Amino acid sequence: MRTQVAIIGAGPSGLLLGQLLHKAGIDAVILERQTGDYVLGRIRAGVLEQVAIDLLDEAGVGQRMHQEGLVHGGFDMLFKGERHRIDMNKLTGGKNVMVYGQTEVTRDLMEARAAAGLTTIYEAANVAVHDFDSAKPRVTYEKDGKQHEISCDFIAGCDGFHGVCRASAPRSAIKEFEKIYPFGWLGVLSDTPPVHEELIYVNSPRGFALCSQRSATRSRYYLQVPLTDKVEQWSDQAFWDELKLRLDPEARAKLVTGPSIEKSIAPLRSFVTEPLRFGRMFLAGDAGHIVPPTGAKGLNLAATDVKYLSNAIIEFYQDKSEAGIDSYSERCLKRIWRAERFSWWFTSLMHNFPENGAIGQKLQEAELDYIIHSEAGARSVAENYVGLPLDFGQ
């Protein structure tokens, strides 16, 4: 088989890239190791920045998001038992975020791809990338016991943190930066009305908590837990009891509990790989970087990588220019490091680090107190949360 761009991975990055290339008349095949249902079964964050919203619109998949997504102009920070609102909208001159689950974004992209009759090969085993240091890269894979080969002009590594593309880059050409946090997030999804109309980020000496949502009838809650905890240790009752202990009295009284429909523990990691280009192979999304979920930057960063990459590939075919391809890695990395910085900072501010002792908690509270009382402090949080503009620092 021959295609212009072989995309590895049918997560949000791969699917969005496929859609944007299709709009520009560029042919792409997506290879995915799992089934479509498996991909849709993964529950991840659900906050979209304006840049991501615009991009989903550009890709022609924004309709349901606008109907069902919840526009939020602020969020609460809870510390020392009291809640304080960060009015993002006011502090950023009118910017908001959209609460719409990544699962739904993925579903919309999958449906658009299927409706356009574009090729996604699910359950592709042993995907391997070859000759990306030449003008004629190839991808091989197995499906139904048979070996297949795709020749292409470019390979897009949208295959997530555990993917094959980054792992195939020459070790001497790659530098990786990583921080693993000493705790995870225990998440619960439940068909109960959210405790509050906006999100609540909680700093508590018992550990971080987050009250999020998917709709007026579906909630998503998280608790900071030790990395050694197993999900089986946490009954629904134990989860709700612990969440209540981390909330303020009003939220505690209002919280509606119910059976969990999903429960899982996710580790927290900051990770960046440099560069994001190896000849004719590019990394985008989680394949190139991971942020801890505090601040929900993961999907948004993936979306901007894909924007830069699709623009670069379109420029290559339409204008016969390699300028976008040549600057892809550097442009993306600037934005990635800014989001890494914010996600690391917000994580450090909100979580309990036992090794920092009682003074650590006091210093966090003093910083939070500064943020909510200083317009400059609050604005800094707000402008990062809604997402820095694409031309920031240019």
Least CB distance to ligand PHB at residue 107 (A): 16
Residues 16-55 as x/- pattern, contact with ligand APR by CB under 6 A:
---------------xxxx----x----xx----------
Catalytic residue among 141, 181, 201, 222: 201
**297 is annotated as an active-site residue:** yes
Q: Which stretch binds ligand PHB (CB under 6 A): 83-91, 148-156, 253-261, 292-300?
A: 292-300
Of the chain, the end-to-end C-alpha distance in Å amounts to 41
Give CA separation, 129 vs 3, 183, 196, 279, in Å: 14, 34, 47, 12
Quote the crossing angle between the two packed helices 298-319 and 323-350, to the nearest 10°: 180
Residue with tokens 């190139």: 288
The correct pick among 22, 196, 220, 263 for binding ligand PHB (CB under 6 A) is 220
Among ligand PHB, ligand APR, none, partner that 212 touches (CB below 5 to 8 angstroms by kind): ligand PHB
Among ligand APR, ligand PHB, none, partner that 306 touches (CB below 5 to 8 angstroms by kind): none
Confirm if 310 and 282 have CB atoms less than 8 A apart: no
Residue 12 binds ligand PHB, judged by CB under 6 A: no
Q: Which is nearer to ligand APR, 317 or 337 (CB)?
A: 337
Side chain identity at 7, as an amino acid letter?
A: I
The correct pick among 49, 108, 153, 159 for binding ligand APR (CB under 6 A) is 159
Q: Which is nearer to ligand PHB, 91 or 210 (CB)?
A: 210
**362 is annotated as an active-site residue:** no
Could you give the residue ranges of the DSSP H alpha helices within 116-163?
A: none
The correct pick among 164, 325, 381, 386 for binding ligand APR (CB under 6 A) is 164
For the chain, helix (H) and strand (E) counts, in that order, are: 13, 20
Q: Which is nearer to ligand PHB, 193 or 275 (CB)?
A: 193
**201 is annotated as an active-site residue:** yes
Residue number of the CB closest to ligand PHB reads 212
**Dist CA 335 CA 172 (whole Å):** 24
In this structure, the number of other CB atoms found within 10 A of the CB of residue 18 comes to 30
Least CB distance to ligand APR at residue 296 (A): 8
The correct pick among 15, 17, 296, 309 for binding ligand PHB (CB under 6 A) is 296
Spatial strand order in the sheet of 138-143: 125-130, 138-143, 146-151
In this structure, the number of other CB atoms found within 10 A of the CB of residue 386 comes to 24
**289 is annotated as an active-site residue:** no
The correct pick among 46, 157, 163, 292 for binding ligand APR (CB under 6 A) is 163
Concatenated DSSP letters of 168-190: HS-GGG-EEEEEEEEEEEEEEEE
Residues 266-305 as x/- pattern, contact with ligand APR by CB under 6 A:
-------------------xx-----------xx--x---
Residue 291: which of 226, 361, 346 has the closest Cα? 346
The correct pick among 46, 74, 160, 285 for binding ligand PHB (CB under 6 A) is 46
Secondary structure (H, E, C), 194-234: CCCCCCEEECCCCCCEEEEEEECCEEEEEEEEECCCCHHHC
Q: Which is nearer to ligand APR, 298 or 368 (CB)?
A: 298
> DSSP code of 259?
-
Burial of 218 from C-beta contacts in 10 A (0-12 / 13-18 / 19+)? middle
Q: Which is nearer to ligand PHB, 74 or 295 (CB)?
A: 295
Catalytic residue among 137, 194, 292, 293: 293
Cα-to-chain-centroid distance, residue 175? 22
**181 is annotated as an active-site residue:** no
Q: Which is nearer to ligand PHB, 120 or 347 (CB)?
A: 347
Active site residues: 72, 201, 293, 297, 385
User: Which chain residues interact with ligand APR by CB under 6 A?
Assistant: 8-14, 31-34, 39, 44-45, 102, 124, 127, 158-160, 162-164, 285-286, 298-299, 302
